[in-house]
Amino acid sequence: MNLNYQKHFPVMLPEILQALAPEDGKVYVDATFGNGGYSEAILKTANCKVIALDRDPNVLARTQELKNLYGDRFEFRAGQFGNFADLISETIDGAVFDIGVSSMQLDEADRGFSFAKDAPLDMRMSQKGETAADLINSLSEAELADIIYNYGEERKSRQIAKRIVEFRKNKPISTTKELAEIIYGVIHKTPNTIDPATRTFQALRIAVNDELGELQKGLRGAAERLGANGKLVVVDFHSLEDRIVKTFFKENSNKNRHVSKYGKGTAIDDDAIFVTCSKAIKPSDEEIKINPRSRSAKMRFAVKKDKTQKEQN
């Protein structure tokens, strides 16, 4: 498949479409609409319907573009994908999740997601609730250290938390540049290595948006709404997310159910959700060269079990 990259090219699009295999007349959910790359590609691939979800109000203009192009085949429902089962009441044939901050959000300096651009320390995907600045200026040193360590996997979390608390004694921390400079005081920048602020900014973003909790709820909701042989496809970008996805698929698939000591070695899989689950799939070398943001991406997919087949057999 020829990769046609744009500024906000959706990560692993060829692999997503291959796993989802959109068909005419079926219904799919794009649980993380963003700039609409997955939604539009699915609509172009088959004469199907796409229901898109997003909690970011800034996507509304883009959703209207797709509505104008595809009419009733496209529908947008505002909300976070953690509420998947509430937002989607119908049975669906597939769902796609692209976990984490979108390129569009990173590129909008005033959203405060990136340390590369000085901006208010916000990081709220929904633009509601507590900001990153609220957390930084109100949490205790121990609470900050735990967030930075658990969500950012930052080994120097305690030193960074200590510097944050020392800094805010004189003035509140209000911008991305202020926070980044505090971090650089603990971990010095060196050429050709990951920016020292990366892990702490990731941790705060996850905490502000409850991303891991939302992911767990979203996966359960999507699994509930999938019909027989429906596909659940997830792209994630770091180990914390990937561990949740991998565990969810593994614990709910046929081949990983426990074996009864009374049943002559047969697996008890009546409560299994998925009949197959893929291993992690990485982006192609071509994509990584053209779109460096994709380098840490992993895609996994699962196919929902058709329990009626067993009943008929």
Cβ atoms of 213 and 86 within 8 Å: the answer is no
Q: Residue 262: is its pLDDT beyond 80?
A: no
What is the C-alpha separation between 141 and 45, in angstroms, rounded? 51
Two tokens at 280?
A: 């992690």
Burial of 232 (0-12, 13-18, 19+ CB in 10 A): buried
Q: Which helix (H) or strand (E) holds 299?
A: strand 298-304
Burial of 188 (0-12, 13-18, 19+ CB in 10 A): exposed
* DSSP code, position 192: T
Confidence of residue 189 (pLDDT cuts 50, 70, 90): confident
Q: Residue 192: is its pLDDT beyond 90?
A: no
Confidence of residue 258 (pLDDT cuts 50, 70, 90): very low
Mean pLDDT (the chain, rounded):
87
Query: Phi and psi (nearest 5°) for 200?
Result: -70, -40
Q: What pLDDT is attached to residue 116?
A: 66
Q: What pLDDT is attached to residue 263?
A: 45
Q: Mean pLDDT lowest for which of 58-67, 81-90, 120-129?
A: 120-129
For range 68-84, the mean pLDDT: 96
For range 230-256, the mean pLDDT: 91
Q: What pLDDT is attached to residue 15?
A: 96
Q: Residue 227: is its pLDDT beyond 70?
A: yes
Two tokens at 90?
A: 């119908």
Q: Percentage of the chain with pLDDT > 90?
A: 67
Q: Residue 109: is its pLDDT beyond 60?
A: no
Cβ neighbours of residue 171 closer than 8 Å, sequence gap 6 or more: none
Q: What pLDDT is attached to residue 207?
A: 93
What is the C-alpha separation between 130 and 124, in angstroms, rounded? 8
Cβ atoms of 62 and 87 within 8 Å: the answer is no
Q: What pLDDT is attached to residue 4?
A: 38
pLDDT in tens, 77-95: 999 999 999 999 999 999 9
In the beta sheet, which residues pair with residue 120? 175
pLDDT in tens, 129-147: 899 999 999 999 999 999 9
Q: Residue 7: is its pLDDT beyond 60?
A: no
Q: What pLDDT is attached to residue 2?
A: 38
Q: How many CB atoms lie within 10 A of CB 3?
A: 12
In degrees, rounded to 5, the angle at the alpha carbon of residue 283 between the alpha carbons of residues 279 and 288 is 155
3-state secondary structure at position 67: helix
Pick the more confident residue, 10 or 159: 159
Q: What pLDDT is attached to residue 40?
A: 97
Q: What pLDDT is attached to residue 70?
A: 97
For range 157-164, the mean pLDDT: 97
Q: What pLDDT is attached to residue 29?
A: 98
Q: What pLDDT is attached to residue 216?
A: 96
The percent helix, strand, coil of the chain (3-state, each to 5) is 50, 15, 35
